Amino acid sequence: MADSYGLAVRAIVRDEKGRVLLLRRSTANRTNAGLWEFPGGKVEPGEFFENALERELVEECGLQVRLVGVAGAVQTEASDVHVVQLVMKAEVSGGEPRLSHEHDRFEWFEPDRLPVETMIPEFRQFAEELAAGGG
């Protein structure tokens, strides 16, 4: 098992109706293709986590967001590194939805209707909290 850690940051993004954004991983991904995830990604060396999230959201889904708090953190495993996934809460503040090659679908879900069974396993706990009225 890897000994080193990387940091990634994700956002539970809500629209003005309170719906939650998920992206579905395309077959361009070596792992978890076909599974839904919260937008976000790796924090690059020297990059501040808030800027990393802002950059990833524009790249992955064309949206600007406003952070509203912390949802939690979980660990995922990449081939050579443990990844700490810091999950923030956010609201859309601008932009027009669009996809990168990493995803093949973009959808806003009611918080109690997230597709838990087809989400990346490590993120399911957040879906369950959202369904229970948390998050």
Q: Give the footprint of a copy of itself on this chain (CB under 8 A).
A: 4-5, 7, 45-46, 48-50, 67, 69-75, 82, 84, 86-88
Between 26 and 76, CB nearer to a copy of itself: 76
Amino acid at 133: G
The number of beta carbons lying within 10 Å of the beta carbon of residue 17 is 7
Q: In whole angstroms, what is the distance from residue 40 CA to residue 55 CA?
A: 8
Contact 62, 96 (CB under 8 A): yes
Between 63 and 88, CB nearer to a copy of itself: 88
Q: How far is the CB of 69 from a copy of itself (least distance, A)?
A: 6
Q: Which residue has the tokens 């609201």?
A: 91
Q: How far is the CB of 119 from a copy of itself (least distance, A)?
A: 18
Tell me the longest C-alpha to C-alpha distance in the chain.
43
Q: How far is the CB of 65 from a copy of itself (least distance, A)?
A: 12
What are the φ and ψ backbone dihedral angles of 97, each rounded to 5 degrees?
-55, 130
Q: How far is the CB of 27 from a copy of itself (least distance, A)?
A: 29
Between 9 and 103, CB nearer to a copy of itself: 9
Q: Which residue has the tokens 């109690």?
A: 112
Between 4 and 27, CB nearer to a copy of itself: 4
